[in-house]
Amino acid sequence: MAKMWAGRTSGVTDSIADDFNSSIHFDCKMYKQDITGSMAHAAMLGAKGIIAKAEADALIDGLQGILEDLNSGALAFDFSCEDIHMFVEQVLTQRLGDVGKKLHTARSRNDQVALDLRMYLRSEIDEITALVKDVLDAILEQAEKNKGVIMPGYTHLQRAQPILFSHHLMAYAMMLLRDLDRLADCRKRMNISPIGCCALAGTTYDTDRRFEAAQLGFDGIAMNSIDGVSDRDFCLELISAIATLMMHLSRFSEEIILWASWEFKFIELSDAYTTGSSIMPQKKNPDMAELVRGKTGRVYGDLMALLTTLKGLPLAYNKDMQEDKEAVFDAVETVKMCLKVFAPMLATMTAKPENMKKAAQGGFINATDLADYLVKKGMPFRSAYKISGQIVARCIAEGKVLETLPLESYREFSDLFENDLYADIDMLTCVEKRISEGGTSQASVEAQIAYVKECLA
Ligand code: ARG
């Protein structure tokens, strides 16, 4: 059968070319946006007198019918159509006859696909946003449930300083808040309507682009018709925001995997979010966290794929751009799946405060506080740092920790040491003394929790 665009050519194509060219298998996802976009277009054509009012009404009714039939399953996609735009127009024309053929006045598939994609992705952003908030809720829940639990904080994955477990968790909350910001910012630029740019140059008809934009909930219109049909920045920005979000989830996953190991045992994951091994009966594997970490790679791939596709494309529309959808849809689907499993996995995880405390006590992570003690007594920090290091070395040689080294030994290093040193190097004191804004003290962590709640409200 000849294509709807038969004209200059016979419109008869080889089936291999059809399969290669068609996008309906993946752009059928956007059928709702395609149809509502067309309804707004028909309304504008009628309002501007470009087609008769009755014709516009017929088109809108016909489109509404197609929407309902697709929703109910009464109508199925015809995968022999090139894309979703052609499919909808074909059904409309079958149902309405010649009136159906008027819908495509003053527009092109080039502005139509850009419109559909913006509308589809902006509602995906809203969904992703809600899912990120679920993860934030799970973080807040764990932070509040584990108030006062001390763990070692790390740098270079070496025990560094004592921190509150909740402080560590809240670090991830700050990352996710920035992710929410990035998504909102991306949505702002996405919510600009390209419809009416037509193929590339605009149109000779007296259209009203702002009428259509307003009907479809856009904040404005693309101010240059060539840019309107060529721009895929909104896809790149979204994948990039998702890639950053995935990177955060991946870092968090990595820590959960470490914490769940026998070596750490800082947490235990709920059975519901772990798997067993087919051969080793003792195993409880953190597969969900590992998969989130793994899927981060594929989202980076989506970003690189689209950046590379767009690089060097001349203006305006090129068929290469059809490749945008699979990349951005994959990133969106992947991050949604990850967020959906991450929130309950986190909410149901159990902290092991005793194990965290044990790890905190064995690693000389109060050595900075020992140096600070000497500074308090009048010694310059560099000298205090050096002496504290020598004391750590002595402890290691004697199989002791700072808390169990007797005062006489301390005084061999400096006579500034007195009995009050033990209170200063107590883990809880070390944490509570870190009162600087954003530090690990209980009060500071509570302020962070309140801040995040306020941002979410
Ligand atoms: N299926 C196409 C895409 O996804 C729609 C736009 C086609 N435009 C064209 N002039 N062939 O990009």
The answer on pLDDT for 450 being more than 90 is: yes
Q: What is the pLDDT of residues 101-134, one digit of tens each?
A: 999 999 999 999 999 999 999 999 999 999 999 9
Sorting pLDDT into bands at 50, 70 and 90, what band is 3?
confident
Nearest CA to ligand 1 atom 11: 319
Is pLDDT above 90 for 171? yes
Q: Closest residue (by CA) to atom 4 of ligand 1?
A: 322
- Please identify, by atom number, the ligand 1 atom nearest to the C-alpha of residue 321: 12
What's residue 167's pLDDT? 98
Query: Residue range 155-181: average pLDDT?
Result: 97
Range 237-245 average pLDDT: 98
Rounded Cα–Cα distance for residues 270 and 13 (Å): 56
Residue 57 confidence (pLDDT) above 80: yes
Residue 352's pLDDT is 98
Tell me the CA distances in angstroms from 304 to 179, 206, 231, 324, one per residue in order. Answer: 20, 40, 17, 11
pLDDT of residue 6: 85
- Answer whether 179's CB lies under 8 Å from 131's CB: no
Task: Tell which phi-psi region holds residue 52, choosing left (phi > 0), alpha (psi between -120 and 50) or beta.
Answer: beta
- Which of 26, 322, 323 to mutate for ligand 1's pocket (most ligand atoms within 8 Å of CB)? 322
pLDDT given for residue 448 in this prediction:
98
Q: How many angstroms separate the alpha carbon of residue 12 from the centre of ligand 1?
A: 18
- Rounded to the nearest 5°, which phi and psi values hold at 316? -105, -105
> Can you tell me which atom of ligand 1 is nearest the CA of 27?
4
Atom of ligand 1 nearest to the CA of 199: 10
Q: How far does the centroid of ligand 1 lie from the alpha carbon of residue 301, in Å?
A: 23
218 alpha carbon – ligand 1 mean position (Å): 22
Q: Is the pLDDT of residue 373 over 90?
A: yes
Residue 149 binned pLDDT confidence (cut-offs 50, 70, 90): very high
- The per-residue pLDDT for 2 is 82
Residue 163 φ then ψ, to 5°: -140, 165
How many whole angstroms from 313 Cα to the centroid of ligand 1?
15
Inter-residue contact 136 to 343 (CB < 8 Å): no
Place of tokens 């994948």: 239
Which domains are present in the chain?
A: 18-105 (1.10.275.10), 110-151+164-204+230-352 (1.20.200.10), 358-456 (1.10.40.30)
DSSP string, 140-192: HHHHHHTTT-EEEEEETTEEEEEEEHHHHHHHHHHHHHHHHHHHHHHHHHH-E
Has residue 412 got a pLDDT over 80? yes
Q: What percent of the chain has pLDDT over 70?
A: 100
What is the percentage of the chain residues whose pLDDT exceeds 90?
Answer: 93
Mean pLDDT of the chain: 96
pLDDT: is 84 or 3 the higher one? 84
Distance, CA of 346 to CA of 309 (rounded, Å): 37
Compute and round to an integer the Cα radius of gyration of the chain.
31
- How high is the pLDDT of residue 455? 97
Which sequence positions are flagged as catalytic? 156, 277
The average pLDDT across 316-341 equals 98
Helical spans, DSSP H, in 191-232? 209-215, 225-230
Residue 280's pLDDT is: 81
pLDDT at 8: 85
pLDDT beyond 90 at 1 = no
* Rounded mean pLDDT, 326-349: 98
How far is the C-alpha of 346 from the C-alpha of 146, rounded, in Å? 13
- Nearest atom within ligand 1 for CA of residue 317: 10
Considering only 6-15, 238-247, 263-272, which range has the smallest mean pLDDT? 6-15
Q: Whose CA is nearest to atom 2 of ligand 1?
A: 322
Instruction: Taking residues 304-331, report their average pLDDT.
Output: 98
In the reported structure, the alpha carbon of residue 293 is separated from the centroid of ligand 1 by a whole-number distance in angstroms of 34
Contact residues of ligand 1, CB 6 A cut-off: 23, 27, 83, 109-110, 113, 317, 319, 321-322
